[in-house]
Amino acid sequence: MQDRIEHRWIEAFTKAFSFNAIMPGDPVAILSETQSRPVNVHLAELALMALGARPFHVELVSPAQFAPVPVRSTGASQSIGGHEGVLAALTAVPVIIDLTVEGLMHAPELPQILKSGARVLTVSNEHPDALERLLPNAELKGKILSAARQCRKTSEMRVTSAAGTDLTVNMEGAQTVGVWGFTDKPGTLAHWPGGVVVSFPKAGSANGTLVLDAGDVNLTFKRYLEQPLTLTIKDDFVTDIAGGGADGELMRRYLAVWDDPNAYAISHVGWGMNEAARYEAMTFYDKEDFNGTEVRAYAGNFLFSTGANEFAGRFTEGHFDLPVGGCTISLDGRDVIKDGAMVWSEFA
């Protein structure tokens, strides 16, 4: 894969941006950093020009590392670092195209940016080949909105599997968000690719067992698991990690090095809904060309994540995104995912 400008990628970026209500003459900030993927930054500029917008660049210096281990795919960019000049620029425009490496979804500055009324589209740090295949569409938005509404009405989520998973999540008071790949509403954030609905439970809400079977995915490590791995969860916290061979040892070591109990806590739970996203996609890209958003979104996976959950008052940079296949997810006793397939007719 060559990092050169392809016309089809300009067209893909233009089409994706067009869903975000970007109008001719709109000032649009392209937010990037020195370690951003240059081809995506360039494509963003060309696509915005094709839409008649007035783009300008805000390029940050990628921050120094302070974590004890590599940090990947957290959605919590530290690149702004509270810089007042950067925030002045970002809060003065209607649209921000976010091309930072980690993205602004959990960045500390995001609430201030959204309060200004800006719409933020985070373009995941993927090769444009993947972005081209995973263009947003209005049909997916409708399905995800329906799923999110159902989650907000739910008292209990239960997740089971033939591999041995049996996890119960109290959904009362949980914050649920759906992401379909674009936003046309002021003061909101979306990311492209999209296709997930996730809930951030209140503290003490999750208990049970989660079995990561062979073939399930650890996206922090960008690995398909080779052996089953069992997580015991008590009042939101992973209290035991059993088995898993090398995968288990990697997870245990990575969590332990943070020396932070919150690294063991649940961040969010949900499922993928994007029929265009492929479980096997990770096999086709080098690690540097793959951020894993596609595998988070493939239809029917149970997306279980550990780490920060601001709605439960927990903050940490330690983070795992773990798409789990073959699960049955029920909301108040009604199956919405059955053995890894969407079955509820309203959004299946």
pLDDT in tens, 191-214: 999 999 999 999 999 999 999 999
* pLDDT cut 90: percent of the chain above it: 86
Contact 200, 311 (CB under 8 A): yes
Which residue segment(s) compose the domain that 78 sits in?
7-133
* pLDDT cut 70: percent of the chain above it: 99
Buried b vs exposed e over 109-139: b needs ≥16 C-beta within 10 Å? bbeebbeeebbbbbbbbbbbebbbebbbbee
Q: For the chain, how many structural domains are there in total?
A: 2
Q: Are residues 201 and 120 in the same domain?
A: no
Closest CA to 31 of 129, 136, 115, 105: 105
Arithmetic mean of pLDDT, 24-30: 98
Identify the band that residue 301 occupies on the pLDDT scale cut at 50, 70 and 90: very high
Q: What is the pLDDT of residue 61?
A: 97
Question: Looking at 38-47, 117-126, 212-221, 337-346, which range is the least confident one?
Answer: 337-346
Q: Are residues 148 and 113 in the same domain?
A: no
- C-alpha pair distances (Å), 306 with each of 201, 236, 269, 315: 12, 9, 9, 11
Whether residue 345 is predicted with pLDDT greater than 90 in this model: the reply is: no
**First vs last C-alpha separation in the chain:** 34
Any domain includes 338 = yes
- C-alpha pair distances (Å), 1 with each of 6, 9, 37, 46: 11, 13, 14, 20
Q: What are phi and psi of 188, to 5 degrees?
A: -130, 165
CB neighbourhood size of 170 (10 A):
17
Q: What is the pLDDT of residue 267?
A: 94
Q: Are residues 112 and 72 in the same domain?
A: yes
More confident: 72 or 32? 32
Q: Are residues 116 and 169 in the same domain?
A: no
Task: Convert the pLDDT of each residue in 219-269 to its tens digit.
Answer: 999 999 999 999 999 999 999 999 999 999 999 999 999 999 999 999 999
Q: Are residues 40 and 166 in the same domain?
A: no
Contact 82, 93 (CB under 8 A): no
Q: Are residues 245 and 117 in the same domain?
A: no
Arithmetic mean of pLDDT, 10-22: 97
CATH of the domain at 71: 3.40.50.980
Arithmetic mean of pLDDT, 72-97: 92
Q: What are phi and psi of 140, to 5 degrees?
A: -65, -40
Any domain includes 153 = yes
Q: What is the pLDDT of residue 6?
A: 96
Arithmetic mean of pLDDT, 277-303: 94
Q: Would the pTM count as exceeding 0.85?
A: yes
Q: Are residues 324 and 204 in the same domain?
A: yes
Whether residue 74 is predicted with pLDDT greater than 90 in this model: the reply is: no
Q: What is the pLDDT of residue 174?
A: 96
Q: Are residues 298 and 227 in the same domain?
A: yes
Q: What is the pLDDT of residue 347?
A: 62
Whether residue 298 is predicted with pLDDT greater than 90 in this model: the reply is: yes
3-state helix, strand and coil shares in percent for the chain, rounded to the nearest 5:
25, 30, 45
Q: Are residues 168 and 37 in the same domain?
A: no
Any domain includes 202 = yes
Any domain includes 292 = yes
Q: What is the pLDDT of residue 2?
A: 79
Unique residue bearing structure tokens 């941006």: 17
Q: What is the pLDDT of residue 75?
A: 75
Whether residue 348 is predicted with pLDDT greater than 60 in this model: the reply is: no
Arithmetic mean of pLDDT, 77-106: 95
Q: What is the pLDDT of residue 94?
A: 97
Any domain includes 303 = yes
Any domain includes 119 = yes
Q: Are residues 319 and 223 in the same domain?
A: yes
CA distance 216 to 324: 5
SS (H, E, C) 277-339: CCHHHHHHCCHHHCCCHHHHHECCCEEEEECCEHHHCECCCCCEEEEECCEEEEECCEEEEEC
Any domain includes 116 = yes
Q: Are residues 31 and 99 in the same domain?
A: yes
| DSSP per residue, 39-78 | HHHHHHHHHHHHTT-EEEEEEEPPPPP-SSS---S-S---
Q: What is the pLDDT of residue 31?
A: 98
Q: Which alpha helices (DSSP H) does 101-225 contain, by range?
A: 110-115, 128-133, 138-152
Whether residue 1 is predicted with pLDDT greater than 90 in this model: the reply is: no
More confident: 132 or 65? 132
